[in-house]
Structure formats: structure tokens, C-alpha cells
Amino acid sequence: HKHQDPLERFYNGH
């Protein structure tokens, strides 16, 4: 199965 990963997984919040 594939799921959509939220963008925080890729970019650090600040």
C-alpha cells in the first residue's frame, strides 16, 4: 500500500 506523506516529513518546520 502507498500513502501520502505530509510535507513535514521532508522539510523541517521553523
Q: How far is the CB of 3 from another protein (least distance, A)?
A: 6
Considering only residues 1 through 14, tell me which ones interact with another protein, judged by CB under 8 A: 1-14
| d(C-alpha 8, C-alpha 5), whole Å | 8
Q: How far is the CB of 9 from another protein (least distance, A)?
A: 7
CA 13 to chain centre: 11
Residue 5 vs residues 12, 14: alpha-carbon distances, Å: 14, 19
Please give the size of the binding site for another protein, defined by CB under 8 A: 14
Residues that bind another protein (CB under 8 A): 1-14
